[in-house]
């Protein structure tokens, strides 16, 4: 059986989850791992029994067989790393959430990949959760009737010590705030489950930490299908994480997905007995089980068995919705995500900060 030779760039917390799912899939060969932090990359190298490199350029020189790269670096570096891996090394890429920080970046990277005959795979693993898939089917089949009210609530705790872990955290250049880092999956699920949002009106604040980005976002939403909604995402809850949920009130019923990472079907009025059957235990890993199916879908696409379902436009629409919250807060007026207006702050350049995460060799 043909195998996909993959490398992982970045060795933060979620990198191990990627490596674990790659190693468990027989259609992949994990070739190498890479990170500027020698201690971390050596730990991953030892655990997964592959070579570790501080420089991805050295890694590519030594392993020309690599044909897919998972980019799991700070969010603000995804654009720069993606373009170099595509244009200089001609590799397909996987890009972790929130894909890119600027709308212009997602356009350039996807269009570059298309010209080169390469693939970009955006990671939105929570779409694969059992609870999400059951509700998606229910909405499609009108088991809940017409979608009328949609609510997102994320009430998590990220104290100052969290942001002090790394220079990139809590910055517009490299991270984004509560909705970009913590809430982006819920924002993506708004679209995935309930259709396109036609208008947002947003207020943002920073209550719980000394950072330049928001830790609180409150928004009202209008959907193209006539539904209305609210979004509340904060990392200023104290002293712990309390809630992360998305609910839908339909003309015939109600559903709510909650848990650590939208993994529990907590309310499902069409048939309450289905709640347990479509819930998953994420207590041992907050990232859940979605990456396993994600890597299967990527393999299916690369081995020409089926199309990967989060394509360029799908990824751009979710990023456009994310930016619309920022633009509405910045301007004080309602914004249509379909206009793809770009925040003046999110993803703004900071060369001094970016230089901390650049490979220094030639």
CATH number for the domain spanning 232: value is 3.30.360.10
131 lies in the same domain as 239: yes
Average pLDDT over every residue of 17-45: 97
* % pLDDT > 70, the chain: 99
Nearest to 12 by CA among 60, 59, 70, 80: 70
Domain of 205, in residue numbers:
126-339
Nearest to 321 by CA among 142, 199, 204, 182: 199
> What letter does residue 181 receive in the DSSP assignment?
I
Q: Write out pLDDT tens, residues 316-334.
A: 999 999 999 999 999 999 9
> Predicted confidence band at 76 (pLDDT cuts at 50, 70, 90)?
very high
SS3 135: helix
Note the pLDDT of residue 106. 98
Residue 361 above 80 pLDDT? no
- Indicate the number of domains in the chain: 2
How crowded is the C-beta side of 100, counted as CA atoms within 13 Å? 25
The answer as to whether 36 is a domain residue is yes
Note the pLDDT of residue 1. 47
204 lies in the same domain as 328: yes
Note the pLDDT of residue 362. 54
34, two tokens: 């890479």
Q: Write out pLDDT tens, residues 80-103.
A: 999 999 999 999 999 999 999 999
Burial class of residue 80 in the structure, from the number of CB atoms within 10 Å of its CB (0-12 exposed, 13-18 middle, 19+ buried): middle
The answer as to whether 272 is a domain residue is yes
140 lies in the same domain as 238: yes
Overall pTM > 0.85:
yes
Q: Write out pLDDT tens, residues 149-186.
A: 999 999 999 999 999 999 999 999 999 999 999 999 99
């Amino acid at each position: 059986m043909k195998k996909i030779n993959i490398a992982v760039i970045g060795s933060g917390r979620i990198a191990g989850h990627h490596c674990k799912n790659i190693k468990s899939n027989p259609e992949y060969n994990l070739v190498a791992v890479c990170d500027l932090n020698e201690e971390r990359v050596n730990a991953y190298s030892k655990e997964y029994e592959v070579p570790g490199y501080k420089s991805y350029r050295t890694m590519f020189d030594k392993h020309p067989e690599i044909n897919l790269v998972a980019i799991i670096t700070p969010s603000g570096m995804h654009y720069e790393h993606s373009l170099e891996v595509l244009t200089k090394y001609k590799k397909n890429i996987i890009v972790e959430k929130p894909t890119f920080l600027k709308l212009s970046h997602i356009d350039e990277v996807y269009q570059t990949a298309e010209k080169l005959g390469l693939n970009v795979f955006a990671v939105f693993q929570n779409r694969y959760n059992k609870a999400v898939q059951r509700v998606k089917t229910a909405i499609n089949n009108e088991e809940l009737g017409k979608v009328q009210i949609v609510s997102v609530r994320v009430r998590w705790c990220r104290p100052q010590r969290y942001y002090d872990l790394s220079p990139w955290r809590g910055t517009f250049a490299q991270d984004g705030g509560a909705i970009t880092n913590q809430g982006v999956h819920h924002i993506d699920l708004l679209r995935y489950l309930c259709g396109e949002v036609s208008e947002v009106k947003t207020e943002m604040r920073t209550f719980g930490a000394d950072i330049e980005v928001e830790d609180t976002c409150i928004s009202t939403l209008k959907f193209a299908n006539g539904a209305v909604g609210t979004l509340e995402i904060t990392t200023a809850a104290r002293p712990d994480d309390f809630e992360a949920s998305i609910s839908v009130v339909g003309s015939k019923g109600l559903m709510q997905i909650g848990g650590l990472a939208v993994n529990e079907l907590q309310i499902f009025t069409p048939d309450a007995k289905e709640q347990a059957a479509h819930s998953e235990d994420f207590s041992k890993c907050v990232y859940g089980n979605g990456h396993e199916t994600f890597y299967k879908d990527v393999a299916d696409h690369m081995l020409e068995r089926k199309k990967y379902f989060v394509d360029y436009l799908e990824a751009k629409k979710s990023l456009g919705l994310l930016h619309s919250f920022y633009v509405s807060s910045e301007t004080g007026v309602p914004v249509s995500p379909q206009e793809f207006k770009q925040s003046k702050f999110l993803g703004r350049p900071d060369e001094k900060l970016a230089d901390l995460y650049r490979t220094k060799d030639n």
